[in-house]
Amino acid sequence: MGCSSSSEASGGAGGVGAASEEEVKQSRTIDKILREEEKWLAKEVKMLLLGPGSSGKSTILKQMKVIHLKGFTRDELEAYRQQIFRNVCEAMQMCLVLMTELDIPLDNESNRRHVLMVDESPDLRDREPFPTKYLESLRILWRDGGVQACVQRGKEASLPENMVYFYSHLDRLFSPEYSPTEQDVLRCRQKTTGISETMFKSADLQYRLFDVGGQRSERKKWIHCFENVTAVLFLAAVSGYDQALLEDKDSNQMQEALMLFDSICNSQWFVKTSIILFLNKVDIFKERILVSSVRAYFPDYEGDDTDYNAAREYFKSRFTRLNRSQSKEIYTNYTTAIDTNLIKVVMASVYDIIVTRNLNDIIL
C-alpha cells in the first residue's frame, strides 16, 4: 500500500516537474521575443512632419524618397505626371482670376479665345500625353503682357510657386514621351489629405516619417500620430510673412505658423520630444523682402527690410521665444526644400541630433 502510495506521489511530482520545465522554456522564448522586439523598437525613430499648409512638408517627404529610397516608382511618376498637368492648367486659371481682381487686362484681347481652352482642361488618363491642343493656348497666354504683369506683381500675386518653373518647360512637359524628373516631382503641388508615411534606414536606424495635412481641416487627424514620437520636424514657410492662408484670406501665413508652433512646442505630447524647426523657402524669402516690407506686417521688426540675415534671424527669434520650457532646445535650420543637396546636409544634422538626444533610449 505504501509502495503504491509512493509510486503515485513520485508520478505526480514527475508530472509537475515536466510541466514546469515546459513553462520555463516557453517563458524564456517569450522573454527572448520581447527583448528582440525592444531592441528593434529602440532602433526605430518616429518623426512627425508638422506645420501649416503650403509650408513644404510633402516636399521634404519626397526628398527622403530621393535620398534614401532611390526615388519614385513608375506608378508614382505617372500620378505626378497627371498632377503636373493639373498644376500647369490651374496656375493659369488662378492667374486669370487674379488679373480680374487686380484689374489687369490681357495685353492682346485676341488672346481671350485661349482662356476658354484653359478653363476646360480635362483630367488625364493613365499614360495619356498632355493634350497638344492646350500647348499653344498656354504658351500664348504665358507670353501675354497682362499675364506677365500679374506674375510680376510681387506679393499681390499669390500664384503657385511652381508656375514660372513649369511654364519655362512647357515644350518638354508636352512631349509625348514626357516622364517627370526628380525636380519636376519636387515642385509638383498637391494638397495632402490624411496621413502619409515613408520608411527608410539611415546609420542602422529605421526611420518612420509621417506627413499630415497642414490645412486647418486636416489637423484633427494629427492626434493619432502623437504617441512615442522621437522628433517633430516643424516646417514654416518664412516667405509667407506677407501672404494669406489659402483656406482663409483674412489670416496671415506666418502668424498662423507661429500660433501652431506655440501649440506644438508646448504640448504635453512633446515634453521629451526633440523639436526641429525648418524655416523653409528661404530662396523665395530672399527675393520677396526686396519688394515687400517685413515691417509692414511685423511692426516690431527693427532691421533693414532688405537685410536677408537680419530678417531671417528675426523670424527665428519669433519662433524660438515661444518655447516655454527651460530644458528644451529648439534646433533651427534654414531650408529650401526643393534643393536635394541642401536637404541631405540638413537631414544629416537632424539624424545626429536625434541620436545624441536619445542615446539612453536607442541601442546602438
Q: Rounded to whole angstroms, how far apart are CA atoms 319 and 340?
A: 25
The residues that bridge with 208 in the sheet, in sequence order, are 46, 199
One-letter amino acid for residue 322 of the chain = L
**Residue 225 to residues 46, 89, 276: CA-CA distances in angstroms?**
9, 35, 17
Q: Which of 143-152, 241-250, 353-362 has the lowest mean pLDDT?
A: 353-362
pLDDT score of 100 more than 50: yes
Which set of grid coordinates corresponds to residue 241? Answer: 510673412
pLDDT score of 114 more than 70: yes
pLDDT by residue (tens digit) across 181-192?
999 999 999 887
* pLDDT for res 10: 43
* pLDDT for res 228: 81
The residues that bridge with 44 in the sheet, in sequence order, are 206
Instruction: For residue 129, give the DSSP letter.
Output: P
pLDDT score of 178 more than 70: yes
Higher pLDDT, 301 or 362: 301
* pLDDT for res 222: 60
pLDDT by residue (tens digit) across 15-32?
445 557 777 777 776 666
* Upper half-sphere CA count for residue 319 (Cβ side, 13 Å): 31
Are 72 and 143 within 8 A, CB to CB? Answer: no
pLDDT by residue (tens digit) across 30-69?
666 655 555 544 578 999 999 988 899 999 999 999 999 9
pLDDT by residue (tens digit) across 280-299?
999 999 999 998 999 999 99
The residues that bridge with 206 in the sheet, in sequence order, are 44, 201
* pLDDT for res 124: 93
Are 319 and 313 within 8 A, CB to CB? Answer: no
